[in-house]
Amino acid sequence: MSKDREFLWRRLHSLLGVIPVGLFLMFHLSMNFTAVGGEQAYNNAVGKMDLIPHNLLLVIEWVVIYIPLLFHAFYGVFIAFTASPNTGRFSTYRNWMFSLQRFTGVFLVIFIAWHIFETRIQKALGADVEFNMIADIVSNPFMLGFYIVGIISATFHLSNGLWAFLVSWGITQSPQSQKIATYVTNIIFVILSVVGVAAILSFV
C-alpha cells in the first residue's frame, strides 16, 4: 500500500470512528440510559424506533452504522496488528493509551459482533428487543461482566480515539492543546462510562 493511499485510509478510519460510529455510540448509550427510569421508560424509548418505516430503517442502519462500523473495525484490526508505539513522539502515558486503543479495538470487534447477534439478529428472527430481553441476557453474571467490560472498552476507545482524531486532523498541534484535549477526552470517557454502566445495571 502506498504512503498516500495509507494516509487517506487512516484519515477515513479516524473520521468514521468519530462520525458516525462515535455519534451512534453516544445515541445508543443515551437510549439504554432510559432503563434507569424503569422497564416502561426503556420500552417506550425503544418503541419509538418502530415508528420508522422498516425499509428506511434498514437503509439508515447500513449506511450510517453497519458499513462505517465494518470498515472501522476491519481496518482497525489491520492497524492493531501492524502499528507500533511511537516512543519518539509521545510520552509513556500516550504510548499506554496507544496500546489500550489497539487492545480495546480488537476486543470490541468480538463484543459488538456478539451484541448484534443477541439483539439485532434475534429481532430479525422475530424476537422483541425490549427490557426483558436485555434483563435475561445480563441475568447471567458472566454476561453482565462481559457487557460492562464491553461498555467501558467502547467508551475508552471513543474518547481516546477522539484525542487521536484531533491530533491527526491537525486540530490540536501544540503540546499544550494536546494536554487540554487529554483532560477533555478523559472527562468524556468518565461521563460516558458512568452512563453506560448505570444503564446496564438498571436491567439487573
Residue 91: band (very low, low, confident or very high) from pLDDT cuts 50, 70, 90: low
Residue 1 is predicted with a pLDDT of 58
Q: Has residue 144 got a pLDDT over 60? A: yes
Q: What is the pTM (predicted TM-score) of this model?
A: 0.93
Region at 134 (left for phi over 0; alpha for psi -120 to 50; beta for the rest):
alpha
Give the tens place of pLDDT for each residue, 16-58. Answer: 999 999 999 999 999 999 999 999 999 999 999 888 898 999 9
Residue 90: band (very low, low, confident or very high) from pLDDT cuts 50, 70, 90: low
Give the tens place of pLDDT for each residue, 123-138. Answer: 889 898 999 999 999 9
- Give the helix/strand (H/E) hosting 142: helix 141-168
Residue 94 is predicted with a pLDDT of 87
Residue 54 is predicted with a pLDDT of 86
- Give the helix/strand (H/E) hosting 105: helix 92-116
Mean pLDDT, residues 110-116 taken together? 96
101: nearest Cα among 13, 21, 182, 161: 161
Residue 81 is predicted with a pLDDT of 87
More confident residue, 91 or 153: 153
Average model confidence (pLDDT) across the chain: 93
Domains of the chain by start residue, with CATH: 3-201 (1.20.1300.10)
- Rounded Cα distance between 153 and 167, Å, is 21
More confident residue, 7 or 90: 7
Residue 60 is predicted with a pLDDT of 92
